Amino acid sequence: MTTPAAELRRRARRPEWAGRNYTLLTAAAIVTSLGTHGALIAAAFAVLQSGGDGGDVGLVAAARALPLVLFLLIGGAIADRVPRHRVMVAANALNCVSQAVFAVLVLAGDPQLWQMMLLTALCGTGQAFFNPAAEGMLMSSVSGEQAGRAFALFRMAMHGAAIGGAALGGALIAAVGPGWVLAVDAAAFAVAGVLRAFLDVSHIGTRRPGGGLLADLRDGWKEFSSRPWLWGIVAQFSVVVAVVGAAESVYGPLVARDELGGAGPWGAALAAFGVGTLGGALLMMRWKPRRMLLAGTLCVFPLAAPSAALAVPLPVAGLAAVMLLSGVAIEVFGVAWMTALHQEIPEAMLSRVSAYDWFGSVAMLPLATALAGPAEGLFGRRESLWGCAALVVLVTAAVLFVPDVRNLTRRTKEVAVGTAVTPSADAESAVGRLG
Query: Closest Cα to residue 210, out of 334, 372, 77?
Result: 77
Residue 150 has, within 13 A of its CA and on its CB side, a CA count of 29
Q: Which amino acid is at 188?
A: A
Is there a contact between 303 and 184 (Cβ–Cβ < 8 Å)? no
pLDDT, position 97: 95
Cα 314 from chain centroid (whole Å): 28
141: phi then psi, degrees, rounded to nearest 5: -115, 5
Is there a contact between 6 and 419 (Cβ–Cβ < 8 Å)? no
pLDDT, position 285: 82
Angle at 202 between CA 199 and CA 206, to 5 degrees: 120
Alpha-carbon distance of 39 to 99, in angstroms, equals 9
pLDDT, position 15: 59
Please report, in tens digits, the pLDDT of each residue of the chain (435 residues total): 445 454 444 544 555 656 788 889 889 999 998 888 788 778 877 887 888 765 676 677 778 878 888 888 888 888 878 888 889 999 999 999 999 999 999 998 888 888 888 998 999 899 888 888 888 888 778 776 667 778 888 888 887 887 788 778 777 877 888 889 899 999 999 999 999 999 887 766 555 555 677 788 888 888 898 999 999 999 999 999 989 988 877 788 778 778 887 666 777 787 788 889 888 888 988 888 889 999 999 999 999 999 999 999 899 899 989 999 999 999 999 989 988 988 888 877 888 888 888 888 888 877 787 777 788 888 988 999 999 999 999 999 999 999 999 999 987 654 433 333 333 322 222 222 222
Alpha-carbon distance of 323 to 327, in angstroms, equals 6
| Cα first-last separation, the chain | 30
pLDDT, position 192: 93
Question: 178: cis peptide before it, omega within 30°?
Answer: no
Query: How many CB atoms sit inside 10 A of residue 264's CB?
Result: 11
pLDDT, position 360: 87
Alpha-carbon distance of 33 to 30, in angstroms, equals 5
Alpha-carbon distance of 186 to 167, in angstroms, equals 18
Alpha-carbon distance of 395 to 235, in angstroms, equals 9
Alpha-carbon distance of 365 to 378, in angstroms, equals 20
SS3 141: strand
